[in-house]
Structure 1
Amino acid sequence: MRQLSQWLEHIESLHPSHIELGLDRVKAVAEKLDLLQFSSPVITVAGTNGKGSTIAVLEALLAEKGLSSAVYTSPHLLRFNERLRIKQSELSDECWCEAFAAIEKGKGDIGLTYFEFTTLAAFYLIKQHSCDYVLLEIGLGGRLDAVNIIDNQCSIITSIHYDHEDWLGHDLESIASEKAGVIRANTPVIAGDNQVKQLISPYTDTNSCYAADNIDEIIPDYSLTMELPFLGKLHPNSLRSAVLAADQFNLSFSEEELKRAFSNVDIKGRWQKVYDSPSVWLDVAHNPQAIENLIGKLSQHPEITEWVAICGMLKDKKALLALSVLQPHIKQWLLVPTTGPRGLSSAELKQKLPFCDEQNSQIFNSEKAAIDNAISHLPKNVGIIGFGSFLVVANMVEYFQQKTVG
């Protein structure tokens, strides 16, 4: 009998492509296994950035009302089991193995990618548990993403910016059309801001569409100042999008309920503080918009007078260019490698960053080496921000967890 790690290796070996957009294959298997409909309302979240944060806030809001949720997100940071939470808890390896066995048996000779196979397994597990709401995060794009085989009663599009352009298009209008593919006719749509609302407007003729920017007009009792204590950790549009989505299901919240719910949101790898002396934060910012958002997060800490960046990035031209926006805020760059077909060695990364020279940058062969170098000699007024690809940040989260335990 396969263990979880063996199942994941097996699933990864089944299909030659890591990504193959299209719904025909995954939908055929879902139909065979009766996985296309859930008995609870579904809220689907798409967008370039802010999906995981918005879902986490929505999950906390539902819990504040005593309502349960099944939450599917991707990718995971440290453990595969993170991808699915039922009533705010991860499921066991054994549950996942049972689900994988069911998908393997049900798919017959239909080829599935890793994401399609694991998404169907998540849907299989969701159907086994009774929850009040189902919250689904799109993996890539929207229209042709495996998650989009499920019809929703409300959709959220958090942001539209450049990322995964080889699959989604090279201009914002094309990217918007892909993300708007999650919208269902005659259902409410929440846009992360007015720019998103404008970009998706060609696809919302039959929908009521609300922009998070305008929440105080839609929910007059909503206090914008109430958000202030949470803005270092959560983007205001994530808070507002989640509240607006809940409002579509006639869920209203007092200011105290909102504060409690927002306080309970904990997302690893999203502006996560992992060390105190010196102060270290980690963030999975890896595309232009997310990198620009880091500047606002840095500004939330006036006690930090200088910043050191530990950074590992994939071969994404626009993301690499966006790093120049951070340059005025970073005193020293410690560059680490990424792996895989789109990976960059630390030396290659340095070559692609014209602002890096011998004085303001160093290259390392691992996240551990860069971290050890940084925390060994920095004073308290210097902060460290570790960011970049998910795997780079995951390695750093794991390192600091072990360091804390040790």
Structure 2
Amino acid sequence: MSKQHSPEATSPLSMWLHYLENIHTSAIDLGLDRVSQVAQSAQLTKPAPKVITVAGTNGKGSTCALMEAILLDAGFTVGVYSSPHLIEYNERVRINGVNVSDQQLCESFDFVEKVRKDISLSFFEFGTLSALRIFQVEQVDVVLLEVGLGGRLDATNVVDHDVSVITSLAIDHVDWLGSDINVIGFEKAGIFRSGKPAICGQPKAPHTVAAHADDIGAEFFQVGQQFQYQVTDETHQQWRWQSGGFDLVDLPIPSLPLANAATALMALSTSGLALSDINIVNGLRNVKLAGRMQVLVEQPLVLLDVAHNPHSAEYLAHQLQTKFAGKTIRTVVAMLHDKDIASTLAVLSPVVTHWYPASLHGPRAAKVEELLVHIGEAEGQFDQPVEAFQAAYDQAQKDDVVLVVGSFHTVGEVLDYWQKMNKGSQNGE
């Protein structure tokens, strides 16, 4: 269900993406043998002087965005590779906060195609190598790599990175990672490197995480042990972060989860990169990330969040209870079939006033009927998220909250619709 750059599929980038979606036997094919061969032959295993790789069930994108904002304030040239995208594939690769161009992507795809010869690569593997090539060509100072799935066998793990990060650990992607949290912990800890910093932002992490760090001699930093953080004022406007001799106080609360900010600071503090306190403060104040508690308009308040599993839904539900207690919350939801739909919706249900369920489309999509089983009464059944959003928005009073949630696909479709609708209004259409 990956989106193409253009619905007409006529641009060079669209043609490349269509080609990449069809050259391999399966969309997800975990293993490093094939992608490692190509990465080594193309000399892509060290795309920048400093590389930080980030794994985790949730919070990868937020943690990368937080580190990116701080590093940019310090004057570093920063490349970020993330997935999936919301609207355009270009979102997956950005340099200094700007998505790379179609031309850069096409040139990098062409490079990988020539280097791979007869080695078959999955869509994600090809895209990962393409991103590494772009970072190499643009000579960035720091690369932040977001793991796609798991860690140990993910294509990003072919890179010789300097700092490893696990943001959070929960059961997700059961078809590929299983339902044993200790196994999942081991898979994600597979990005750790001997003798190098390994950060874990999950409190009370499965024993396999610390055990693997110990087995390979990684320098392990566990939240609650080697680093701590806490909100320090009653209005929840400031917080404190501590690790060893580091003690940062009166830090501004960022727009992204505080746990991810604490983990990002631990990763940066072990990276050897020169950063000042003011860089950290400015980065925390300036950071933004599409699809994470993203506000489109104030009245009614339209809120986008890509929460798609129980762990991320718990954080979202807490934020809604804290910030919008007593308000009517009209929730547009559409999900993928391979997610824990029942538990995710159960977490959100106590804070939702009205449901607007919709179907997604594609091989992994859940149909609206699957959602209705778990939410009961709804304000309708919708064939696509945009239709559900239109209904929720039309019925909302000015003090209501219209929440769009459940998947990157759900948020991406509504965000794309919103941007085009407002662009049309500005152009007088």
Relative to the length of structure 2, the TM-score reads: 0.88
Find out whether 1:167 has 2:188 as its counterpart: no
1:374 alignment partner in structure 2: 392
Q: Per-residue deviation at 1:253?
A: 5.6
**Does the C-alpha gap of structure 1 residues 317 and 40 become closer, same or farther in structure 2, counting only changes over 3 Å?**
closer
Match of 1:356 among 336, 352, 376: 376
1:125 alignment partner in structure 2: 134
Mapped contact 2:321–2:351 kept (Cα < 8 A): no
Secondary structure at the residue paired with 2:248? Answer: coil
Task: State the alpha-carbon separation in 1 of the partners of residues 338 and 29 from structure 2.
Answer: 19
Q: Per-residue deviation at 1:199?
A: 4.7
Q: Deviations over 1:205-244 (max 9, x none)?
A: 1122223443344154223x6343x2xx311111111111
Q: Deviations over 1:80-108 (max 9, x none)?
A: 11111123222211111111111111111
Match of 1:278 among 279, 286, 300: 300
| 1:3-402 pair list within 5 angstroms | 3-196=12-205, 198-205=207-214, 206-213=217-224, 214-215=227-228, 216-218=241-243, 220-223=246-249, 226-228=251-253, 230=254, 233-251=255-273, 256-302=278-324, 305-316=327-338, 318-351=340-373, 353=374, 355-357=375-377, 360-402=378-420
Q: Per-residue deviation at 1:113?
A: 0.6
Secondary structure at the residue paired with 2:40? Answer: helix
Mapped contact 2:252–2:285 kept (Cα < 8 A): no
Q: Per-residue deviation at 1:325?
A: 1.8
Task: State the alpha-carbon separation in 2 of the partners of residues 368 and 114 from structure 1.
Answer: 27
**Does the C-alpha gap of structure 1 residues 317 and 376 become closer, same or farther in structure 2, counting only changes over 3 Å?**
closer
**Does the C-alpha gap of structure 1 residues 177 and 197 become closer, same or farther in structure 2, counting only changes over 3 Å?**
closer
Mapped contact 1:197–1:209 kept (Cα < 8 A): no
Q: Per-residue deviation at 1:375?
A: 1.6
Aligned length: 398
Q: Deviations over 1:33-59 (max 9, x none)?
A: 121223411110000000000000001
Task: State the alpha-carbon separation in 2 of the partners of residues 272 and 174 from structure 1.
Answer: 33
Task: State the alpha-carbon separation in 1 of the partners of residues 16 and 307 from structure 2.
Answer: 30
Q: Deviations over 1:241-271 (max 9, x none)?
A: 1111111134576654333211221211111
User: Which residue identity is paired with 2:248?
Assistant: Y
Q: Per-residue deviation at 1:346?
A: 1.4
Deviates more, 1:40-49 or 1:186-195: 186-195
Task: State the alpha-carbon separation in 1 of the partners of residues 277 and 139 from structure 2.
Answer: 29
Task: State the alpha-carbon separation in 2 of the partners of residues 220 and 32 from structure 1.
Answer: 41
Moved >6 Å (runs of 4+): none
**Does the C-alpha gap of structure 1 residues 2 and 382 become closer, same or farther in structure 2, counting only changes over 3 Å?**
closer
**Does the C-alpha gap of structure 1 residues 259 and 319 become closer, same or farther in structure 2, counting only changes over 3 Å?**
farther
Relative to the length of structure 1, the TM-score reads: 0.93
Task: State the alpha-carbon separation in 1 of the partners of residues 354 and 48 from structure 2.
Answer: 53
User: Which residue identity is paired with 1:94?
Assistant: Q
Mapped contact 1:304–1:382 kept (Cα < 8 A): no
**Does the C-alpha gap of structure 1 residues 97 and 381 become closer, same or farther in structure 2, counting only changes over 3 Å?**
same
Secondary structure at the residue paired with 1:13? Answer: coil
**Does the C-alpha gap of structure 1 residues 27 and 402 become closer, same or farther in structure 2, counting only changes over 3 Å?**
same
**Does the C-alpha gap of structure 1 residues 160 and 10 become closer, same or farther in structure 2, counting only changes over 3 Å?**
same
